Structure 1
Amino acid sequence: MFKKEIYLNRRNNLLSKFTTGKILLLGNIENPINFEHNTYPFRQDSSFLYYIGVKSPRLAAVLDTEKNETILFGDEMTIDDIVWMGQQQTLAEKADLSGISKVLPFNQLFDYLSKGKQEDIHYLPPYQSHNKLLLEQLTGRPANQLQPSAALIKAVVAQRNIKSAEEIIELEKAVDIAVDMHRIAMRMTKPDLYEYQISNAMQHFAQDQGTSFSYPPIVTKRGEILHNHMQFHQLYEGDLLLNDSGVETAMGYASDLTRTFPVGKRFTALQEEIYQIVLHAFKSAEQLLTSGIRFKEIHLKACEALVDGLIQTGFMKGNAQDAVMNHAHALFFQCGLGHMLGLDVHDMEDLGEQYVGYTEAEPKDTKTFGIKSLRLGKKLEAGNVLTVEPGIYIIPELTQLWEQQNLHKDFINYDFLKKHLDFGGVRIEDNYLIETDGYRRLGKYLEREIQEIYQLKDNPID
C-alpha cells in the first residue's frame, strides 16, 4: 500500500465533489473455478484499490458525505480461517494503513445504507455477479435496471485519469519489467518452438520479479487475430511472432507493450516493408502526443500514415486522406490507436468508455467500423497515461466479405491483397505519460528499429 495520507487525500478529494449522500465502493470477492474453495487468483476492484488500498475479498466501503468519514465493512478472520490460512493482519490493522478507524461487520452494510433515501446512495457500475446481486438486494432493482451514479463515475474518472508521482513510479516499474520480459521473448524465439513455450518463459520471468501478467498475453504467429489467446502453434522459419504482453505490479499498476518480430533471424522482404509502415505510423503518432490535442486526431493521422505506406506497397490506392475519411483503412487497421493505462490495462473501462475516453460534447462513435473500437478520443491532459499501438492486420474473412460487398474498391487493390492473405499482422506498442508540452515514454526503451531487433536475434538465449 501507499502511505495512508495518499488514501486519505484521495477520499477527501472525492468527498469534496458531493454535498449529500453516501458513496458506496464495493470490493471484489473470490470467484470459484469449479467448486467453492478452488478459486481464481483474487484481484481487488481497481477503484476500491485506488481509494481504500486493502486487497482482501468481500469488503465494502462507505464514504459518508454528511459525517465526512469512511467506514469499512468486512469480517475478521475466524478460527477456521486461521487454521487453513494462518494468522494474518487483522482487518482493523489493514484499515488503519488506509487511514480508516471505523470497521464494521459486513452484514451491517445494509442497515447502515438503509438509513436515508436510496437515491442518495452513489455507486459505480458493477461487473462481478456477486456485486450485481448485492445491489439488487440493496436497491430492489433487477441487475439490468441498476442505476449507477453518473456523478460518481465522472468524479472517479476525473481523479484517476491524472496520475500522481507515486503512480508513475509504479507504472514505470511495470514497464521496465515488461521490457526485459519482451527481450527474453525476442531472443529465445526460433523455429520449431511453440507459442506457449515463449509465453511460459515470460510468465516465469514476471513471477520472479514479484509481478504477474496484467492481462492474458497475446503470443501468436496469427497476429491478424487482434485478441488471440490461443498459443498452440509451432513456429517456423518465415513466420512473424506478435507478442502483446505486460505485467502488473504488486500495487496493481499495469504495463502493456507489443513487439512483432521474425521467428528466424530476419524478416522477409514484405514483412520488413509492412513493419516499416507500422513503425512510421507509430512514430508519427508518438510525436503528436501532448496535452490539449484530441487523441482521435492522432489516431486519424496514424491511419493516414498507414494508408500512405499501403499505397506505396500496392495494397491500397488513391488518396490517403480520402481513404481514411471514408474508413477504407479499417480493412487493415480495425481497432483504435490506444487506450488509457493505469490500475487497469484498459484503465477504468468498467466505468464506461464514454466517460473515460470521450466527453458529452464529443461522444464516442459506436457504429462506424474501425472508429467504434477507438477507446480514447478526447483531448489529452497532462498526467494522462496511455498506449500508442498502430498495426496492420490482414484478415482473410474480412477481405472476402468486403470484396463481395464491393466496398471501397476505389481505395483497395483486392487483386494484389488476395495474393498475401496469409501475411498475418504487425503491431508496435509503447506506454506514455502526457506532459504539458509533450510526452514521456515510460520505462526503459524496448528495441523497435529493425536493426535493433536483428541485434537481439543475433544474441539468442535457450
Structure 2
Amino acid sequence: MFPKEVYTKRRNQLREIMDDGIALVLGNPEAPMNYAGNVYHYRQDSTFLYFFGIDQPGFTGVFDIDNNTDYIFGDDVDIDDIIWMGPQPSVVDQAAPFGVENTAPFNDLKSFLADAIKAGRKIHFLPVYRAENKILIHELLGTPLSQIKEMASTEFIKAVVSLREIKDEYEVKELERAAAIGYEIHTTAMKMAKDGVYEREIAGECEAIALRAGGLLSFPAIVSKRGETLHNHEHGNLLKTGDLLLVDSGAETDSHYASDNTRTLPVGGKFSAKQKEIYEIVLAGINKGNDLIRPGVSYRSIHLEVCKVIATGLKEVGLMKGNVDEAVKAGAHALFMPHGLGHMMGLDVHDMEDFGEDFVGYNDEIKRSDQFGTANLRLGKELKPGFVITNEPGIYFIPALMDKWKEEGLHMDYINYDKVNEYRTFGGIRLEDDVLVTKEGNRLIGNRIPVSVEEVEKIMS
C-alpha cells in the first residue's frame, strides 16, 4: 500500500483527463473452483488497485467526474462472515487509507447509476474480462451481454493507459522487490537443472519461492525442455544431460507488482558447442535491445534492429543467407522468432492487456503490423520515461512451422532449409530482462540474473 496521497493524486489526474460523466472501476469478485465456498486464490482487478487500493472482493469504485467526487460501493460484513473469517474492518475504514471519503452499500450502486442515466449523463466502463462482472454490467446498465466489449469507453481506456503506463517512484520500488524474488527463482532453477530432475520439481520450487516471499507467481511458470513451444505450461518431462531448459517465470509482490524474466539453461551445467552458438546470438540480441531502449525511440524500431542481430547471427552459422536487411524486411527471420520483442509490465505482467494490446502498445502514429512475427509485437509505440518493459528475443526451431514454410516455398532466398532441418530437435532459447525507461536512457529493474555463458555455467556448477 502506498501513501494516501498517491491514490488521491491518481484519481484527480484521471478526472482532469476525462471530460464528463461517471466512470466505473469494477473490483473483482471471488471465483469458485468447484463450489461456491472453495475459491481460487483471490486477485483484485489491477485498475481498481491502482485507483482505489482495497485488495478485497465485493467493491466497485466510481468517479463522478462532473462533481469531482469519488465513491466506493461495498458492504460491511455480517455475523456469518465474522464467524468464518474473523473480525473485519468496515467499508469506511478500508476506504480511508486510500483517501476515499464517500462510501455506500453495494446495492445503492444500481439506483445511483439509474439516476445518472435518467439525467442523461455518460456512464464509462472499462473492458470486462470476468464473466461475473459482465453480468454485473448488464444488471447495472442494461447493456446486452453481447455488446459489452464494443461499448467499453475508449475515452476511459486511453485515460487510464496514459496514467498507468508511467511508473512512479513507489511503483518502481515494488517492481524492484518483485525482481529480487525473480532473481532467486531463476538462480534456484539454474542450480536444480540436473539430469534426472522433472520439470515439475523446478516449477514447484519457483512457486514456493514466490509464496514464501508473500505473493504469488506473476503468471504460470514456463519450465520446459520443449522451449520451441512459446508458452509451454506442461511440466512432465524428465530432464537429461544435454537438454536445454527454458525457464520463463516471475514473481508478484504482495502489492501485485510483477517481474518477468527468462533464462535458458543447459541441463547438466555445460552448453554444447551447437547450443552455445545459438545462445550467443540470442544474448547479442538482448544486449542490443537493452542498449537501444531510450525515450523517443519507437519500440518497433528496436524490435526490428534486434531481429537484424538475430538474422546476422543465423546467417553466420549457415541457417540464413542473403541480405540481412532485406530478409528482416521480408519477415524471413520470423521462422526463428515468431513473436515480438517485449511488452509493458507493471501491476500486470502484460500490463493492461485486459484493455486490448492496441490501446496499450500502439497509438495514432504507430499502428500494428500485419506481417507474420511483427504482428505479434505487443508494444510498438515510442518509449517514454517511466515505461517498464520486457526485452525478450529468442530463437526457436518449430518443426511444424519449418515444414509449412518449406512446403510453401517461403523465403527461399533467405533461409537454408537443409541446414535448418538439422536443428529439428534443438528446441528453443529465449532470454528476457525487465527494463525501466529513464530520462537519460534506461536501467534494468533489479540485479541482472546471470546471463552470459560463463555466468550461467558457473552458477550451475
Q: Is the TM-score greater than 0.5?
A: yes
What is residue 120 of structure 1 aligned with on the other side?
Answer: 122
What is residue 322 of structure 1 aligned with on the other side?
Answer: 326
Deviation at 1:403, TM superposition (A): 0.8
Deviation at 1:33, TM superposition (A): 1.0
Cα distance in structure 2, aligned partners of 1:390 and 1:290: 18
**311-320 or 293-302: which moved more?**
311-320
1:289-322 CA-partner distances (Å, limit 9, x unpaired): 1000000000000000000011111111111111
Cα distance in structure 2, aligned partners of 1:129 and 1:399: 39
**259-268 or 199-208: which moved more?**
199-208
What is residue 393 of structure 2 aligned with on the other side?
Answer: 390
| 2:113–2:141 CA contact under 8 A, matched in 1 | no
Tell whether 2:289 aligns with 1:313.
no
2:17 is paired with a residue of what secondary structure? coil
1:311-341 CA-partner distances (Å, limit 9, x unpaired): 1111111111111100011100010000000
Identity of aligned residues (%): 45
Deviation at 1:71, TM superposition (A): 1.0
Amino acid across the alignment from 2:133: N
2:71 is paired with a residue of what secondary structure? strand
What is residue 178 of structure 1 aligned with on the other side?
Answer: 182
1:378 to 373, 381, 385: 381
Relative to the length of structure 1, the TM-score reads 0.97
Tell whether 2:279 aligns with 1:275.
yes
1:14-36 CA-partner distances (Å, limit 9, x unpaired): 01123421111100010111111
Amino acid across the alignment from 2:398: I
2:191 is paired with a residue of what secondary structure? helix
User: Following superposition of structure 1 onto structure 2, how do residues 346-357 of structure 1 map, counting pairs within 5 Å?
Assistant: 346-357=350-361
User: Following superposition of structure 1 onto structure 2, how do residues 39-188 of structure 1 map, counting pairs within 5 Å?
Assistant: 39-117=39-117, 120-146=122-148, 147-188=151-192
**201-210 or 159-168: which moved more?**
201-210
Amino acid across the alignment from 1:16: E
User: Following superposition of structure 1 onto structure 2, how do residues 297-308 of structure 1 map, counting pairs within 5 Å?
Assistant: 297-308=301-312
What is residue 211 of structure 2 aligned with on the other side?
Answer: 207
1:340 to 344, 362, 370: 344
What is residue 21 of structure 2 aligned with on the other side?
Answer: 21
**238-247 or 136-145: which moved more?**
136-145
Tell whether 2:283 aligns with 1:285.
no
Deviation at 1:119, TM superposition (A): 5.9
Regions of 4+ moved over 6 Å: none
| 2:206–2:221 CA contact under 8 A, matched in 1 | no
| 2:394–2:428 CA contact under 8 A, matched in 1 | yes
1:126-152 CA-partner distances (Å, limit 9, x unpaired): 110111111122332322312111111
What is residue 38 of structure 2 aligned with on the other side?
Answer: 38
What is residue 445 of structure 2 aligned with on the other side?
Answer: 442
Cα distance in structure 2, aligned partners of 1:294 and 1:38: 46
2:124 is paired with a residue of what secondary structure? strand
What is residue 269 of structure 2 aligned with on the other side?
Answer: 265
Deviation at 1:153, TM superposition (A): 0.6
Amino acid across the alignment from 2:124: H
Amino acid across the alignment from 1:368: Q
| 2:74–2:91 CA contact under 8 A, matched in 1 | yes
Deviation at 1:85, TM superposition (A): 1.0
2:227 is paired with a residue of what secondary structure? coil
1:189 to 190, 193, 198: 193
Amino acid across the alignment from 1:349: E
2:107 is paired with a residue of what secondary structure? helix
| 2:335–2:401 CA contact under 8 A, matched in 1 | yes
Deviation at 1:90, TM superposition (A): 2.1
2:435 to 432, 439, 449: 432
| 2:22–2:121 CA contact under 8 A, matched in 1 | no
What is residue 230 of structure 1 aligned with on the other side?
Answer: 234
Cα distance in structure 1, aligned partners of 2:398 and 2:145: 37
Cα distance in structure 2, aligned partners of 1:457 and 1:391: 21
Tell whether 2:414 aligns with 1:411.
yes
1:7-60 CA-partner distances (Å, limit 9, x unpaired): 111101101123421111100010111111111111000000000000111211
Cα distance in structure 1, aligned partners of 2:387 and 2:301: 16
Deviation at 1:444, TM superposition (A): 1.3
1:34 is paired with a residue of what secondary structure? strand
Distance 1:421 1:10, change over 3 A: same
Runs of 5+ unmatched residues, structure 1: none
Amino acid across the alignment from 1:324: V
What is residue 368 of structure 1 aligned with on the other side?
Answer: 371
What is residue 12 of structure 1 aligned with on the other side?
Answer: 12
Cα distance in structure 1, aligned partners of 2:31 and 2:100: 27
Cα distance in structure 2, aligned partners of 1:79 and 1:138: 28
Cα distance in structure 2, aligned partners of 1:119 and 1:456: 61
Amino acid across the alignment from 2:205: A
Cα distance in structure 2, aligned partners of 1:436 and 1:3: 25
| 2:30–2:39 CA contact under 8 A, matched in 1 | yes
1:110 is paired with a residue of what secondary structure? helix
Cα distance in structure 1, aligned partners of 2:325 and 2:302: 13
Cα distance in structure 1, aligned partners of 2:91 and 2:303: 46
**139-148 or 386-395: which moved more?**
139-148
1:25 is paired with a residue of what secondary structure? strand
* Aligned Cα root-mean-square deviation (Å): 1.0
1:283 is paired with a residue of what secondary structure? helix
1:50-83 CA-partner distances (Å, limit 9, x unpaired): 0000011121111112221111111111111111
Cα distance in structure 2, aligned partners of 1:16 and 1:4: 19
Number of residues of Structure 1 aligned to a counterpart in Structure 2: 457
